[in-house]
């Protein structure tokens, strides 16, 4: 039997934080977690979309427990403020789904001067995760799920530590591929950190396959995606999975009791199909790329990832 959201266990008493929870995959993730009894923190940027998302979840689940925390991943000061708001209201965070992202943008920068796609898709999530680490480690067995994409396979060149923001040779799709590869390496590297620290928290990765969300249409509206953006918009509209189906890999990674840290969940057939565990392709330079990502991320954000022991620490 294929795994579906009906297999999510009772999450009553758990706190789940979902970035980009006001639309697409994020909304479907928040909807499913709220339906399973979790208290869901919708961390999102657009107030009007977030209000509509809350109304939609409440209409489906009138007893849903929710709160909204404004989050702009393109501004590290807002990222810190959002994390502080979460920490002020919650001693522990059981689930963190790093879902939000942008795709194939024209060359532009975040408030902090980062290339927009690397800044929003990875560096903002890096800082948000780091700021929430105390609450994640307080939970008995927290999970962090970071959403990547098959587009990472188009990152033919590794992240350049000397020019991570591609100021010399920018390409919209190349930048997106590197950002999604950063998500992939972040998920694996974070699990390494958890394992070395001996904590019970786990880090997993998911990708949604070809899912028909607003991501494709937005990339076309932004004007940086070129003919490829128009092609993928038409393709996903014609044959993509629904956001409801596309969210299943990240939901399974977040809630399946058999899932383990360091695993990747994705559609069985790459772009389509039920959510299954997929193998981690270990390139010869995988560890080097993870190490470079850690170096670049800490340097650019000036935010380390502190791992402190707590109730979520394993005994050896």
Q: What is the pLDDT of residue 228?
A: 54
3-state secondary structure of 160: coil
Is 176 one of the annotated active-site residues of the chain? yes
**Two tokens at 71?**
């989050």
Q: How far apart are CA 39 and CA 214, in angstroms?
A: 26
Question: What's the full length of the chain, in residues?
Answer: 316
Catalytic choice (170, 176, 184, 265): 176
For residue 22, the 8-state DSSP code is T
User: Has residue 28 got a pLDDT over 50?
Assistant: yes
Report the distance separating Cα 66 and Cα 111, nearest Å: 29
Q: What is the DSSP letter of 8?
A: P
> Domains of the chain: which residue ranges?
8-299
pLDDT at residue number 312: 45
Average pLDDT (152-163) is 82
CB 35 within 8 A of CB 251: no
Where helices occur in the chain by DSSP H, the ranges are 24-35, 47-60, 76-89, 116-117, 124-131, 133-138, 172-197, 214-222, 226-239, 243-246, 248-255, 286-301
Token representation of residue 188: 């694996």
pTM: 0.90
- Render pLDDT for 105-132 as a digit per residue (tens, 0 to 9): 899 999 999 999 999 999 999 999 999 9
Asked whether 246 and 211 are in contact (CB, 8 A), the reply is: yes
If one looks up domain 8-299 in CATH, what number appears? 3.40.50.720
Mean pLDDT to the nearest integer, 132-137: 97
């Amino acid at each position: 039997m294929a795994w579906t959201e009906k297999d999510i266990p009772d999450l009553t008493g758990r706190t789940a934080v979902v970035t980009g929870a006001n639309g697409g995959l994020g909304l479907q993730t928040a909807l499913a977690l709220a339906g399973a009894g979790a208290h869901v923190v919708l961390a999102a940027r657009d107030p009007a979309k977030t209000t509509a998302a809350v109304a939609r979840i409440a209409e489906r689940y009138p007893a849903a427990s929710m709160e909204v925390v404004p989050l702009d991943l393109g501004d590290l000061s807002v990222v810190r403020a959002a994390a502080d708001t979460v920490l002020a209201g919650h001693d522990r965070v059981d689930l963190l789904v790093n879902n939000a992202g942008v795709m194939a943008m024209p060359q532009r920068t975040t408030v902090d001067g980062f290339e927009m796609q690397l800044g929003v898709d990875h560096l903002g999530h890096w800082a948000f995760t780091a700021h929430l680490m105390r609450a994640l480690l307080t939970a008995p067995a927290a999970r962090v799920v970071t959403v990547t994409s098959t587009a990472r396979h188009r990152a033919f060149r590794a992240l350049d530590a000397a020019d991570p923001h591609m100021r010399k040779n920018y390409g919209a799709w190349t930048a997106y591929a590197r950002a999604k590869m950063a998500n992939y390496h972040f998920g694996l590297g974070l699990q390494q950190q958890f394992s070395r620290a001996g904590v019970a928290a786990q880090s997993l990765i998911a990708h949604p396959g070809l899912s028909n969300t607003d991501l494709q249409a937005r990339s076309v509206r932004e004007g940086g995606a070129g003919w490829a953006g128009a092609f993928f918009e038409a393709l996903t509209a014609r044959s993509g999975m629904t956001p409801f189906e596309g969210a299943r890999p990240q939901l399974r990674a977040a809630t399946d009791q058999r899932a383990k840290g360091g695993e990747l969940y994705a559609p069985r057939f790459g772009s389509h199909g039920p959510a299954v565990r997929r193998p981690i392709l270990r390139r010869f330079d995988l560890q080097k790329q993870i190490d470079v990502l850690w170096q670049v991320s800490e340097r650019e954000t000036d935010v380390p990832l502190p791992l402190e022991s707590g109730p979520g620490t394993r005994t050896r």
